[in-house]
C-alpha cells in the first residue's frame, strides 16, 4: 500500500493514508515522498482529507471504522490491485514475480537489471531496494516490474492480487503453504496460481525452478477445457539439474560468486549477497530479463552491482565488535536460508563468532501454529535463539526448544530479550533480528543499549 501511494503521488494525485502501525523503512519513504500519514483508522481522517477515491488495503475488513464510514457515506472505493491495473499497468509489458519466498529480492534484481540496461522500467516492490532507495516508480518505458503477491486483494475481492496484473513475463519462484488465515491448504493456493497461469498470453513466458512438485502439479493440468499453461516455461536450477534451461554454479561456498549459464552462453556474478536462495533468485531474474530482450552478459553486470533490499539480512550497526542485522524472515524456509547463508560467510571468512537469532513469529500462519514441526530444523545454523513468546501464538515453544539442537530461550517481552543481549552479547557475535513487523523497535533499542554498555 505504501508503494501504491508513491505511484499515485507520481501520477499527480494528492495522497494521504491511514494505518495502524507504521515503521521504517516504509514510514520514512512515505514522509520523504510528501505523503501524509495518519495513525489509526479514525473516520475523521477521511473527513479531513475529503477523498475522491479510497483505496482499501487487504488488512482492512468489515468493522474497521474507516471501512464502515466509506460504506455508509457511499464514497468511491476500490482495491489496491484493481487501482494499479487500471491506472498503471494497462497497456504495459508487465514482468511479475510470484512465489512463497524471495519475491521482494527477485523483483528488485529484475528491476535493477532493466534499469542497468537503460530501459527505465516502472516497478512496484514490497520493500525498499537499496539501488533505487524508493519502493515504486512509474518509469518512462513500456516495462513494469511488479512483486506479485498471492494474498487476497480486499475484503470484497478474495482473488489473489496477482490475478489483476496480467503479466507477459512471470517468475514463479517456489510454492509452499502460507497465509493460513485465508488459505485452507496448499491446494487452495495452487488454484490461484492456476488462474495466474491462464492470464499469460501465448507469447508470454513462465520462469520456474526445477524440482518444485507444487508448481509442476499446476503446470501438468491439461485438457481442452482445463489446460493451465498456454505459454512456454523455462526452468532454472543448479548446474546439472535435469530439464533446466538456465543454470547456476556456485563459485564460492557462501554464494558471493556464481556463474549463470544458458546453453553455451555464461557469465559470472560477484556480489555482496549470500546464500543459495539468492543464487536461485539471480538466475530467475536473468531468465525473465532475457525474455524482455536483455543479454545474459548485461544481466550479470547489473547483478554485480545489486545492493540488496532493506530488511533482508541488512547490517544496521556494529558496536564493540557486535554485528546487528535486520531481517524480514517469517517462515521456516526463509529463517533457514538466511541463517545458513550467514553461517557460510562466517566460515569462509574464518570468523569464530556466534550467530544469535532473535525471532518474532508475527505472521498469521506462524501464530496459528502451522509450522510447528518444521521450525526446530530451520534454526540449526544458529548458536542461540531468543524467541519472542507472543500471547496470541499457538506455537508450542517448549516442544520446539526440545527438538532444536541449539541454545533456545523463549521470552515473553522485548525488554527481557534486550536485557539478555545486553548482558550476554560479546565481541564477534552476529545478532540477526527476524520479524516482518516493527518488533517494538527492538533493533534501534539494542544498538542504543550496546552503545551505552
Strand-pair partners of 257: 270
Q: What is the pLDDT of residue 368?
A: 65
Question: For residue 370, what pLDDT band results from cuts at 50, 70 and 90?
Answer: low
pLDDT at 367 over 70: no
Least Cα distance to 57 among 36, 38, 73, 78 occurs for 78
Query: What is residue 221's three-state secondary structure?
Result: coil
Is 368 in contact with 395 (CB distance < 8 Å)? Answer: no
Query: What is residue 208's three-state secondary structure?
Result: strand
Q: What is the pLDDT of residues 352-365, one digit of tens each?
A: 789 999 998 776 66
One DSSP character per residue, 224-270 reads TTT----S-EEEEEETT-TT-SEEEEESSTTSSEEEEEETTEEEEEE
Count of CB atoms situated within 10 Å of the CB of 218: 22
Q: Give the whole-angstrom CA distance, residue 354 versus residue 384.
A: 8
Residue with cell 533482508: 312
Average pLDDT of the chain, as a whole number? 90
Taking the alpha carbons at both ends of the chain, their separation in whole angstroms is 39
Please give the grid coordinates belonging to residue 130. 537499496
Residue with cell 493460513: 180
Query: At a CB cut-off of 8 Å and minimum separation 6, what does 384 contact?
Result: 354, 355, 356, 357, 406, 407, 408, 409
Q: Give the whole-angstrom CA distance, residue 288 versus residue 97.
A: 9
Q: What is the pLDDT of residues 231-240, one digit of tens each?
A: 999 999 999 9
In a 13 Å sphere around the CA of 60, the CA atoms on its Cβ side amount to: 25
Is 437 in contact with 21 (CB distance < 8 Å)? Answer: yes
Q: What is the pLDDT of residues 7-53, one digit of tens each?
A: 999 999 999 999 987 777 778 888 888 898 888 999 999 998 889 99
Q: What is the pLDDT of residue 365?
A: 63
Q: Give the whole-angstrom CA distance, residue 284 versus residue 234.
A: 9
Residues 410-419 have a mean pLDDT of 92
Identify the residue with better confidence: 140 or 226: 140
Identify the residue with better confidence: 222 or 308: 308
pLDDT at 392 over 80: no
Residues 190-213 have a mean pLDDT of 95
Is 145 in contact with 108 (CB distance < 8 Å)? Answer: no
The DSSP call for residue 331 is S
Q: Give the whole-angstrom CA distance, residue 107 versus residue 59.
A: 23
Query: At a CB cut-off of 8 Å and minimum separation 6, what does 153 contact?
Result: 58, 79, 80, 81, 82, 159, 160, 161, 163, 164
Structural domains in the chain, sorted by start: 2-75 (3.40.50.720), 82-304 (3.40.1190.10), 314-452 (3.90.190.20)
Across 160-164, 374-378, 419-423, least confident range: 374-378
Identify the residue with better confidence: 342 or 53: 53
Is 271 in contact with 256 (CB distance < 8 Å)? Answer: yes
What is the pTM (predicted TM-score) of this model?
0.79
Q: What is the pLDDT of residue 163?
A: 97
Q: Give the whole-angstrom CA distance, residue 296 versus residue 298.
A: 5
Q: Give the whole-angstrom CA distance, residue 256 versus residue 2.
A: 31
Strand order of the β-sheet with 384-388 is 314-319, 322-327, 430-434, 355-360, 384-388, 407-411
Q: Give the whole-angstrom CA distance, residue 157 versus residue 133.
A: 31
Q: What is the pLDDT of residue 304?
A: 97
Amino acid at each position: 500500500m505504501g508503494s501504491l501511494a508513491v505511484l499515485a503521488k507520481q501520477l499527480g494525485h494528492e495522497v494521504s493514508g491511514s494505518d495502524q502501525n507504521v515503521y521504517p523503512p516504509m514510514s520514512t519513504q512515505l514522509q520523504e515522498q510528501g505523503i501524509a500519514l495518519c495513525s489509526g483508522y479514525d473516520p475523521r481522517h477521511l473527513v479531513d482529507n475529503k477523498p475522491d477515491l479510497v483505496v482499501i488495503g487487504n488488512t482492512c475488513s468489515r468493522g474497521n471504522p474507516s471501512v464502515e464510514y466509506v460504506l455508509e457515506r457511499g464514497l468511491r472505493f476500490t482495491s489496491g490491485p484493481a487501482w494499479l491495473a487500471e491506472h498503471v499497468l494497462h497497456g504495459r509489458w508487465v514482468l511479475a514475480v510470484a512465489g512463497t519466498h524471495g519475491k521482494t529480492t527477485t523483483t528488485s534484481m529484475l528491476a535493477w537489471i532493466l534499469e542497468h540496461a537503460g530501459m527505465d522500467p516502472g516497478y512496484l516492490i514490497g520493500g525498499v531496494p537499496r539501488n533505487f532507495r524508493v519502493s515504486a516508480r512509474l518509469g518512462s518505458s513500456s516495462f513494469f516490474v511488479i512483486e506479485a503477491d498471492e494474498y487476497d486483494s480486499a475484503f470484497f475481492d478474495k482473488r489473489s492480487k496477482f490475478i489483476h496484473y496480467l503479466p507477459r513475463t512471470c517468475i514463479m519462484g517456489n510454492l509452499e503453504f502460507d497465509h493460513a488465515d485465508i488459505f485452507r491448504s496448499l491446494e487452495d493456493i495452487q488454484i490461484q496460481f492456476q488462474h495466474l497461469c491462464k492470464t499469460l498470453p501465448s507469447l508470454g513466458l513462465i520462469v520456474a525452478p526445477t524440482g518444485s512438485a507444487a508448481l509442476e502439479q499446476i503446470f501438468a493440468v491439461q485438457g481442452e477445457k482445463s489446460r493451465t499453461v498456454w505459454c512456454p516455461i523455462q526452468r532454472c536450477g543448479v548446474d546439472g539439474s535435469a530439464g533446466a534451461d538456465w543454470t547456476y554454479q556456485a563459485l564460492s561456498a557462501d554464494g558471493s560468486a556464481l556463474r549463470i549459464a544458458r546453453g553455451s552462453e555464461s557469465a559470472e556474478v560477484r556480489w555482496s549477497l549470500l546464500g543459495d536462495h539468492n543464487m536461485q533468485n539471480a538466475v530467475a531474474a536473468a531468465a525473465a530479463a532475457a525474455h524482455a530482450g536483455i543479454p545474459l552478459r548485461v544481466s550479470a553486470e547489473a547483478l554485480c552491482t545489486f545492493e540488496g533490499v532493506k530488511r533482508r539480512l541488512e547490517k544496521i550497526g556494529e558496536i564493540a565488535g557486535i554485528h546487528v542485522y535486520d531481517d524480514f524472515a517469517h517462515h521456516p524456509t526463509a529463517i533457514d536460508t538466511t541463517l545458513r547463508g550467514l553461517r557460510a560467510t562466517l566460515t569462509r571468512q574464518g570468523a569464530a563468532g556466534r550467530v544469535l537469532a532473535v525471532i518474532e513469529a508475527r505472521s498469521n500462519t506462524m501464530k496459528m501454529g502451522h509450522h510447528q514441526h518444521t521450525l526446530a530444523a530451520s534454526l540449526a545454523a544458529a548458536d542461540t535463539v531468543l524467541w519472542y513468546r507472543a500471547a496470541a501464538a499457538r506455537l508450542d515453544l517448549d516442544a520446539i526448544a526440545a527438538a532444536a539442537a541449539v541454545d533456545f530461550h523463549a521470552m515473553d517481552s522485548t525488554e527481557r530479550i534486550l536485557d539478555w543481549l545486553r548482558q550476554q552479547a560479546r565481541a564477534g557475535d552476529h545478532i540477526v533480528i527476524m520479524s516482518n513487523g516493527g518488533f517494538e523497535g527492538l533493533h534501534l533499542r539494542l544498538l542504543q543499549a550496546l552503545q551505552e554498555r
